Structure 1
Amino acid sequence: MGLALRDDQTYTYADYLTWPDDVRYELIDGVAYAMSPAPLRVHQEFLLQIAGQAHSALDGKPCRPFIAPFDVRLPRGDEADRDVDTVVQPDLVVVCDRAKLDERGCRGAPDWVVEVLSPSTAGHDLIIKRQLYERAGVREYWLVHPVDHVVTVYRLQDGAFGAPDIHELKETLAVGVLPEIVIDWERVLRNVG
């Protein structure tokens, strides 16, 4: 089951900014997808554990982690913000180019994106957002499967993700594009419950 569409219209970031805050949307190629209700507790626990480890590893370094809701605008070129037709809110992003950051979030591809899969969003994250992040130039994309205890890792090489690496949530795993971040899965799992 896919995420509900707002309607059959196409929108831009200018439209997105006028929508009420009580219902969140992601805008992908002008199509507005209603975000699911608040994620399950285990989703939040996984996200906070991963984000906490990333935050600690990046302390004092130029790269910055952010957790949802945090707008990531992905322009196709140099169009004005109001004309951007893609705005997403990944669970966790790390941005190393501070020029991409502004008061509204990030404009341009983050270096690392993590989505913790939920039953209601898994297909969206695995298919639509994977293709989007590849096209936008996200250097590394992790899909964390909290139920199956695996992480699927896509790394951008020559402009494409290619075949993913799949790892069990055991021991540790370094972020390929940010090797200073090493996620200790045993610590994550020990603190989720």
Structure 2
Amino acid sequence: MSAAEQLQERYTYADYAKWPEGEHWELIDGVAYAMAAPSRQHQDVVLELGSQILQHLRGKPCRPYVAPFDVRLPRQQEADDKVDTTVQPDIAVICDRSKLDDKGCRGAPDWIIEVVSPSSAIMDMEKKRKLYERHGVKAYWIVHPTDRWLMVYTLGEDGKYGQFQLFGLDEPATVGLFPELSIDWAFLNDDQG
């Protein structure tokens, strides 16, 4: 998502739902951002993380979803057609199943993971971090597989993320929301080319 690809008009989910299926967009506060096609490495990381999370959550109330999966983030209780923020996180974990419908998720997921690519780094680290904090996403992970680091934001009791924690991807990462889940990054060593 490049700022140069940002459109100038204001849009809502009603507009978004009419756009061609082959194009991938996100809306943040009514502004449309084109999403770049992910790299092979990006998809490998998303698939592996999603698989590890799915295996752990099997039979539990929480469920992971991978992009493309629409997450509508209403400001109040406005109808879907009026919602001006719809994102497609790489991975979204939703524990409140009442937020799920045939369109995706309406409301904040409990945990969002974005895998950084060159075109999305600033968007993921700034705009989306502020957006997810504002909407109450309990845990936000930003994974940089090339530079092998993980940035973790956890929502505090004050409704703010506070200081992030930075981890290397050389050891398993424990998930705060699910302390018995540990993400194993060894798969990154399997495919170095």
Category of TM-score, reference length = shorter chain: over 0.9
Aligned twin of 1:147: 146
Task: Determine what percentage of the aligned residue pairs are the same residue.
Answer: 55
Deviation at 1:190, TM superposition (A): 3.4
Q: Does 1:65 align with 2:55?
A: no
Q: Structure 1 unaligned runs (5+)?
A: none
Distance 2:20 2:6 in 1: 13
* 2:34 partner letter: A
State whether residues 117 and 143 of structure 1, in contact with CA within 8 Å, keep that contact through their aligned partners in structure 2. yes
TM-score, scaled to structure 2: 0.95
Secondary structure at 1:134 match in 2: helix
* 1:64 partner letter: R
Aligned twin of 2:9: 9
State whether residues 28 and 87 of structure 1, in contact with CA within 8 Å, keep that contact through their aligned partners in structure 2. yes
Q: Does 1:41 align with 2:40?
A: yes
Deviation at 1:140, TM superposition (A): 0.3
**Are the structure 2 counterparts of residues 42 and 8 from structure 1 closer, same or farther at C-alpha, using a change threshold of 3 Å?**
same
Aligned twin of 1:177: 177
Q: What whole-Å deviation, never above 9, does each CA across 1:85-134 have from its counterpart, x for those lacking one?
A: 00000000100000000000000000110000000111111111111000
Q: Structure 2 unaligned runs (5+)?
A: none
Secondary structure at 2:47 match in 1: helix
Distance 2:18 2:6 in 1: 14
Report the aligned-residue RMSD: 1.3
Secondary structure at 2:14 match in 1: helix
Secondary structure at 2:188 match in 1: helix
Aligned twin of 2:83: 84
Higher mean displacement: 106-115 or 170-179: 170-179
Q: What whole-Å deviation, never above 9, does each CA across 1:72-96 have from its counterpart, x for those lacking one?
A: 0000111111100000000001000
Higher RCO structure (Cα 8 Å, ≥6 apart):
1
Deviation at 1:6, TM superposition (A): 4.8
The total of aligned residue pairs comes to: 191
State whether residues 3 and 121 of structure 1, in contact with CA within 8 Å, keep that contact through their aligned partners in structure 2. no
Q: What whole-Å deviation, never above 9, does each CA across 1:1-52 have from its counterpart, x for those lacking one?
A: 934445311011011111111211100000000111x211111111111111
Distance 1:129 1:42 in 2: 22
Distance 1:153 1:118 in 2: 17
TM-score, scaled to structure 1: 0.95
* 2:84 partner letter: D
**Are the structure 2 counterparts of residues 15 and 181 from structure 1 closer, same or farther at C-alpha, using a change threshold of 3 Å?**
same
State whether residues 8 and 31 of structure 1, in contact with CA within 8 Å, keep that contact through their aligned partners in structure 2. yes
Deviation at 1:174, TM superposition (A): 1.4
